[in-house]
Amino acid sequence: MSWLDEVRWDAQGLVPVIAQEVGSNDVLMFAFMNREALQQTAELGEAVYFSRSRNRLWHKGEESGHIQKVRELRLDCDNDVVLLKVEQLGHTPGIACHTGRHSCFFKRYQDGAWHAVEPVLKDPERIYK
């Protein structure tokens, strides 16, 4: 049995993936991988996701330059969620979100509404040309 066969893929052949920054332990983003994306991630040592909106593999940073260097690959106890421990490259501090922020989880619920609590580090118009 291959290590990829141990993953519990959903009906669409996908597995949820959490990208967590090495060192800070900040949760940077959530995405999906198919079998090929997980295989390429392990081989390249860089995050490759499956984009559901584009219906294709997406090498993180292919447009923005904000590559995720994978330091550890982990699988949860049910074998149905992957955790990537990554070093976020391409900007200091690292930008993981397409909005130009460090993390995609930049909104906090407070007083009955969602509020952006992390700054934009780089204007997305300057990231995606």
For each of the domains in the chain, give its residue range(s) and CATH number, in order of start.
Answer: 3-92 (3.10.20.810)
Give the model's pLDDT for residue 92: 81
Residue 68's CB is within 10 A of a number of other CB atoms, namely: 27
| pLDDT 10s digits, 83-112 | 999 999 987 888 999 999 999 999 999 999
Q: What pTM does this model have?
A: 0.90
Cα 121 from Cα 70, distance rounded (Å): 22
Give the model's pLDDT for residue 43: 97
Cα 82 from Cα 85, distance rounded (Å): 10
Q: Which of 24, 128, 16, 33 is nearest to 86 (CA)?
A: 24
Residue 9's CB is within 10 A of a number of other CB atoms, namely: 16
**pLDDT band at residue 129 using 50, 70 and 90 as cut-offs:** low
| pLDDT 10s digits, 42-84 | 999 999 999 999 999 999 999 888 999 999 999 999 999 999 9
